[in-house]
Structure formats: C-alpha cells, structure tokens
Structure 1
Amino acid sequence: MQNIKTFGRTRGRPLSFRKASLVDARLADFLLPVEISNEGSNNFDPKGLMPNAKAVWFEIGFGGSEHLIAQAKANPDTLIIGAEPFFDGVAKALDGIIENKLENVRLINDDARKYLANFQDNSIDRIFIMFPDPWQKLRHRKRRLVNDAFAHEITRLLKNDGKLRFATDWANYAETALLALTKNPSLKWLAEGPEDWLTPPQDHFTTRYQLKGLGDCAPHFFDFIKI
C-alpha cells in the first residue's frame, strides 16, 4: 500500500444498530474491488463495474454523502464512485444507496489518494472535490488535499473534455487550490467572471457541511475542463 497518511478522524460515534447491521450485510456489495499495490498498476478500468454506464464520475471525499447520493439519483445512467475515509460517512452513503435503490454507486472506504495510481489514464469523465477539509491553521496547510502533485494525478485520470469541480468556503484554500489547478497546462478554468464561481452551478446539490457556513467566505465553485 502506498505510504499516504490520512489526517483527521476516520471513526466517530458507534453506529446505530440498524446502520451497523446494514454495513455488515451490504457494504461489501458496493465496495470498489481495486487491489492497491506500492507501484500503482494503472490498469483498472472503472467502466467495467457498470459496462452500460454513459459516464464514470468520481467524488473524492464525499463527507456525509448528500451530494454523492443526490448526483446518483439524478444521473442513474452514470457510474459514480465515491471515496471517503470517515466510516460514518460511508455508512450514511450505504444507507442512501439502499433507501433509494441505487445501482450506480461504488464506494471506497479509505483515502482516495491510495487508489488513484491504479486507475487507467483517461478513465474518468468527471471529478468532484466538494468542500474538503480546509486545515485552516498555517501549520496544517500542508495536509490539504489539493496541491500540484494531486492536480497532476487527477488530470491524468480525466478523459479529454473531462470535467473537474472543486468547491470550498475558505478563502486561502480557494486561492492555493486555484493556483495549483490553473498552473496545470491540461486544465482550463471555465469561469469568465466572479459570478461564475460565486453562484452555485445548476447541477450542484447542497451539502450539510455547506449549510453550516463554517468557512470564512462565500462558497467558491471552480469548474475546469481537461484540454
């Protein structure tokens, strides 16, 4: 396994009896069957999980899963992979999958970065990074998910004309993430003016974290396309 340290909690309070029973009975049915190697195999084609899917989307860090489940409901012909190291979020996602009888979702209960090297080049149509942990203290900012190396890796995964959406409500994270993404020559920022990144996109689904308003600025939505 790649030596990647995941910061923050991965477990919260004990699950309710119903959720724990659901996890025991059904989680394995929806976990992504990817074997992690130290080298990274670069040979996993996610389309094989749902051959009839019109597209493959990947949400990295889905938190409470509100956005993940809403996108899956709205796009039943799209395979949506969600990665989240916090187990409570995975349990909530599983609950939503079962409640809504979704067949187009697969889950990774781990840090997505450990899996990325196993995916084929140009194998993902769309990537969402919605309100990742901002690590706002100066000494913790090196823990942030989006940096130059991460931008390079997710760009490798995107198909030509594939799309990326990054959202945050912390001003400094918006600045540093935007710099990392715009300096990548394969990514084109689609915004033409402030209204484009300060107005929630029409296909956005509000998350519980977003509603809490914990950040220091209005939510920023940065949409990119791979060129």
Structure 2
Amino acid sequence: MTDRYEGSFFGRRKGKPLSPRREALMENELPRLILDLDRSAPADLRDLFEADVKDTCLEVGFGGGEHLLHRARTSPETGFIGIEPFVGSMAKAVVAVVEEGLQNVRLYDDDAVNVLDWLPRSSLDLAYQLYPDPWPKKRHWKRRFINPQNLDRYARVLKHGSEFRFASDIDTYIDWTLRHCRDHHAFDWRAETAADWKTPWHDWPGTRYEAKAIREGRAGRYLTFLRT
C-alpha cells in the first residue's frame, strides 16, 4: 500500500445517494471493470482490455466522465484507464460503459497514486489530468496532485516521447503546474504561441467543469508536456 503524503487524495468520496439502478450496476458491473491492484499489472497494458487495442491512455480524476467516455467512443483502438474516487461520478461512467458496451475502458475508484505505482514502467502512451481540484487557498496548495513526487510517478509510467496533458481554469494552478514541470527533468513544455495553451486539444468534447468556469468568467488553459 502506498504511504500517504502531501498530494494524495483529499476530499469526500460520497455525495447524493445512488438510484437503485445505478447502485445495482455498481455492485454487479464495477467488479469486472475495476483494476485489481492485488494482482501484478500485465507487462503489456493492452491485455487489460476486452477490445483489441493498440495503445493505452490514463485519465486521473475523470469527474463527470465527459472526456473519458468521448475518447473511448471515438477511439475504439485505444484502451482507457479512468480513475475517479467519487461514487456518483464513477456510477455515471459505469452506466455508460455497460449500456454502450464499451470494451476499451477500465476503471479505478480510489487514490490515483495506487495505480501510478502499480503500472509498469514506460507503459502509457498518454496521460490526462483535466480540471483537477485546484485547492485555491494557499494553505491548501500542498494538497494539489501535481507535485514532485507525483510527477516522478507520471514520468516513470509514461513512454519517452509521449504526452502529459493538463487543463485548469485556475491561474495559480496553471502557474504551479508550469513551474513544477519546468523544474522536473522528465517534462518539456514546448508551447510556441499563446494558441498552444489557450486552445483545447483536437476533438475536445468539453467538460462540466470547463462549462462552469466559462459561466463564471474564467478561461481554460490546456498544457501539453512531452515526456523526454
């Protein structure tokens, strides 16, 4: 079990009670979709999926699942690992995966550091962290997931030449992430123009958190770091 440290998961996992249907799906379907970290990870992550996939992508904290599910639908040859500790969000994803018969999705409902430590070295082709909890109060910044230890974890599991993508609407978290990635030997930010970080990635579906930010007058920023 990974030791707890600054940057690990903080927060409330349970919200509103689930409907009987969602509760049943969580009980009956989540066990076959969830990663079993008590077993060793396969050397080739493509073996995790029912679908015949060519590469593997990780999304830490998929929230409402808008991005994760969109990518899984539009990229059936990519396997997606989605991590989300909040029960309501996980239930929504499980419903979609089951109803749509998506065979290229695996899920995990606890602390992301457990998965990052479980994955084999250089096993991921892409990783996303989109609109994470910004912990906006300065005294809580130590709780932000982006920190030297977790960047070490991302660096270990990402293949050389792959990308780590990060989005937020909170200026202090954008600056925080840029500074931490700049100071990390394994990540290189290669933006050349403002459009490189003001414009979402190709085929971007948007998320509920992005929509909320826009309603409240904040603009999203989209950072892409190369795993060197």
Normalising by the residue count of structure 1, what TM-score does the alignment of the two structures yield? 0.92
Deviation per CA, 1:164-209, whole angstroms, max 9, x where unpaired? 1000000000001111112222222131111110111223220111
Q: Are residues 1:226 and 2:227 paired? A: yes
Q: Aligned ranges for residues 142-153 of structure 1 at < 5 Å?
A: 142-153=142-153
> Which amino acid is 1:190 matched to?
R
Residues 1-227 of structure 1 correspond to what in structure 2 (within 5 A)? 1-4=1-4, 5-35=8-38, 45-50=44-49, 52-213=52-213, 217-227=218-228
Asked if the contact 2:121/2:157 (under 8 Å) is kept, the reply is yes
Q: Is the alpha carbon distance of 1:87 and 1:45 closer, same or farther for their aligned partners in structure 2, counting shifts above 3 Å?
A: farther
Gaps of 5+ in 2: none
Secondary structure in structure 2 of the residue aligned to 1:7 = coil
Distance 1:47 1:192 in 2: 34
- Residues 22, 91 of structure 2: 8 Å contact kept: yes
Kept after mapping to 2: 8 A contact 1:171/1:217: no
Deviates further, 200-209 or 163-172: 200-209
Change (3 A) 1:148 1:217: farther
Q: Is the 8 A contact 1:44 1:118 kept in 2?
A: no
Cα offset, 1:44, TM superposition = 5.7
Deviations for 1:87-110, whole angstroms, at most 9, x for unmatched residues? 111101101112221000000010
| One-letter code aligned to 1:26 | E
* SS of residue paired to 2:225: strand
Structure 1 residue ranges, 4+ long, deviating more than 6 angstroms after superposition:
none
Q: Is contact 2:189-2:226 (8 Å) kept?
A: yes
Which ranges in structure 1 are unaligned for 5 or more consecutive residues?
A: none
